[in-house]
């Protein structure tokens, strides 16, 4: 009781002194107390406010990084007693945040640090003043502070890249204004696990993408813009769009689908490029069909022989996208206005693309997509039917090796409509492959309109090897070698193999 009475007396004395002593003297005593406390404490404290300066207008980017970092380390698994749990309408993930005036401990380089989230009410206002306070050992402050903050920023940016909602953009025909793009959420389910690609090709693409995403320091050191160009070419239904979606999901990038027919001229094309964000994929599909670029070179000698009236080149005032504008878009000065961008071109016929676009620096990686090889076919069967093996799998592999391979779209359609009966699905696939070897069609194929359309498109494409090949390097190495000619005598052996295999396994 005596101790309590003495404490009350001390509190009363402090209250009287606070009312009697001048405010300047009280402020000085408070500063002396804080200095003495800092001198005796083994820790240093660093404030990171939500806004820069005293005006409270400019956001502090470090505050945002700390918020993302604390969410990335999963505060629910730490000793924090209270967390704030949120979820936005457009996200499928939950977000954690440290509750006001609570702390989270962290370990870096063998030292224990802590983050405290301070929220103070502003007098005579409904606003709040937020800040994070970093507590770290005073003796190791110089050695810890800089590398730890670099670690926080790096981890926060990685978490933001993976967790944010990805968007699919398309140009609306008004690229010269503030926003030439409109967007919707990008939720395409295609991944490299579901793609019908040969394992070697899949590994080559993922390795190249990983090296690009981690190559910031390398690109800056060699003096190159941090971008990468891809050309995807092959017949319709070979999986070009699915591969683009898989790349976007693999890197967690936004996708900008550029429709060149909506772009009026080169100036609008540059405006659209400026409005794209970092960590994005710019897609130009059917580059040989969207605009007539080859006419620029064909008409240039004729235009040079005829002087213009006003002394200017007609291409500059033609009111359309020219080959020169597209080249500057991909590899000119304007192409370096952003970082970590991938430009993807697609075409059904590579020979129709202008050679100036094909060179390295514009289309760095050439990916040839065609019919399914054995491994890609097995991947489709596993995805659609859930089968690791089947009695007709070896027969289908023989058909593939003999020139009867189909595109992923063709095989996927057959497996889709017969997904309830795996035996029927496999028999139809083998029958379609046999018909392709003969160069004809079965009656069942003629009944299906959608399948006939895909087959008609494939008939216009020259026969090629079913193996998909990643082509890179110098232009003379980009063309694939012609496939070996198959003898029609194989069909007789195939039929006997099918009958014997069906009788032996009861198919």
pLDDT digits (tens, 9 = 90+) for 13-22: 667 767 776 7
Res 342 pLDDT > 90: yes
Averaged over 497-502, what is the pLDDT?
Answer: 49
Pick the more confident residue, 274 or 208: 208
C-beta of residue 181 within 8 angstroms of C-beta of residue 169: yes
Tokens of 405: 């391979």
Tokens of 360: 């390295």
Pick the more confident residue, 221 or 41: 221
pLDDT band per the 50, 70, 90 thresholds, residue 468: very low
Res 489 pLDDT > 70: no
Distance CA 366, CA 353 (A): 12
Pick the more confident residue, 290 or 331: 331
Which residues 6+ apart lie within 8 Å of 184 measured at CB? 167, 168
pLDDT, residue 249, reads: 93
pLDDT band per the 50, 70, 90 thresholds, residue 280: very high
pLDDT band per the 50, 70, 90 thresholds, residue 319: low
Res 504 pLDDT > 50: no
Among 26-30, 298-302, 386-390, name the most confident range: 386-390
pLDDT band per the 50, 70, 90 thresholds, residue 458: very low
Distance CA 58, CA 440 (A): 69
Res 456 pLDDT > 80: no
Among 126-130, 371-375, 452-456, 465-469, name the most confident range: 371-375
Distance CA 79, CA 106 (A): 10
pLDDT, residue 210, reads: 94
Q: Which alpha helices (DSSP H) does 353-489 contain, by range?
A: 355-358, 374-385, 393-399, 408-417, 422-438, 443-447, 449-459
Distance CA 347, CA 440 (A): 26
Res 394 pLDDT > 80: yes
pLDDT, residue 457, reads: 35
Res 408 pLDDT > 80: yes
pLDDT band per the 50, 70, 90 thresholds, residue 207: very high
pLDDT band per the 50, 70, 90 thresholds, residue 25: confident
Pick the more confident residue, 472 or 176: 176
74-127 confidence digits (pLDDT tens): 655 556 677 777 776 656 667 777 778 888 888 888 888 889 988 888 777 777
pLDDT, residue 170, reads: 92
Q: Residue 407: which of 435, 377, 431, 387 has the closest Cα?
A: 377
Share the mean pLDDT of the chain.
Answer: 76
């Amino acid at each position: 009781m005596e101790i309590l009475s003495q404490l009350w007396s001390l509190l009363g004395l402090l209250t009287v002194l606070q009312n009697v002593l001048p405010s300047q003297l009280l402020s000085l005593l408070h500063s002396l107390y804080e200095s003495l406390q800092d001198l005796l404490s083994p820790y240093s404290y660093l404030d990171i406010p939500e806004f820069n300066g005293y005006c409270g207008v400019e956001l502090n980017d470090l505050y945002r990084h700390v918020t993302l970092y604390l969410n990335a380390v999963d505060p629910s698994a730490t000793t924090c007693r209270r967390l704030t749990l949120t979820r936005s309408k457009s996200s499928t993930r939950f977000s954690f945040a440290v509750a006001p005036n609570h702390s989270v401990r962290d370990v870096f380089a063998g030292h224990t640090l802590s983050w405290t989230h301070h929220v103070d009410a502003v007098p005579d206002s409904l606003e709040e003043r937020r800040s994070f306070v970093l507590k770290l050992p005073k003796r190791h402050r110089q050695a810890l502070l800089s590398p730890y903050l670099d670690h926080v920023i790096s981890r926060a940016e990685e978490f933001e890249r993976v967790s944010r909602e990805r968007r699919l953009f398309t140009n609306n025909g008004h690229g010269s204004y503030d926003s030439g793009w409109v967007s919707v959420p990008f939720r395409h389910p295609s991944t490299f696990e579901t793609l019908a690609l040969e394992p070697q090709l899949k590994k080559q693409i993922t390795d190249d993408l990983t090296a690009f995403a981690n190559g910031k320091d390398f690109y800056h050191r060699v003096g190159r813009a941090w971008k990468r160009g891809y050309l995807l070419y092959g017949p319709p239904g070979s999986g070009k769009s699915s591969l683009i979606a898989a790349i976007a999901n693999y890197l967690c990038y936004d996708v900008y689908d550029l429709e060149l027919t909506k772009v009026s001229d080169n100036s609008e094309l540059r405006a659209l490029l400026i409005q794209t964000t970092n960590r994005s994929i710019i897609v130009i599909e059917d580059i040989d069909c969207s605009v007539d670029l080859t006419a620029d070179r064909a008409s240039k000698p004729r235009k040079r022989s005829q002087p213009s009236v006003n002394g200017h080149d007609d291409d500059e005032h033609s009111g359309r996208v020219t080959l020169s504008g597209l080249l500057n878009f991909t590899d000119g000065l304007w192409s370096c206005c952003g970082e970590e961008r991938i430009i993807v071109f697609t075409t059904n016929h590579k020979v129709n693309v202008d050679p100036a676009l094909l060179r390295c620096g514009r289309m760095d990686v050439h990916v040839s997509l065609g019919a399914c090889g054995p491994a890609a076919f097995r991947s489709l069967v596993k995805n659609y039917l859930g089968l690791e093996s089947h009695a007709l799998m070896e027969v289908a592999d023989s058909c593939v090796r003999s020139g009867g391979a189909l595109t992923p779209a063709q095989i996927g359609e057959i497996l889709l409509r017969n997904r309830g009966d795996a035996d029927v699905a496999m028999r139809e696939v083998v029958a379609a492959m046999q018909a392709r070897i003969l160069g004809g069609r079965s009656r069942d194929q003629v009944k299906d309109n959608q399948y006939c359309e895909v087959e008609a498109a494939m008939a216009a494409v020259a026969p090629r090897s079913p193996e998909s090949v990643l082509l890179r390097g110098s232009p003379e190495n980009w063309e694939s070698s012609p496939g070996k000619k198959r003898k029609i005598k194989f069909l007789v052996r195939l039929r006997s193999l099918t009958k014997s295999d069906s009788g032996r396994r009861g198919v």
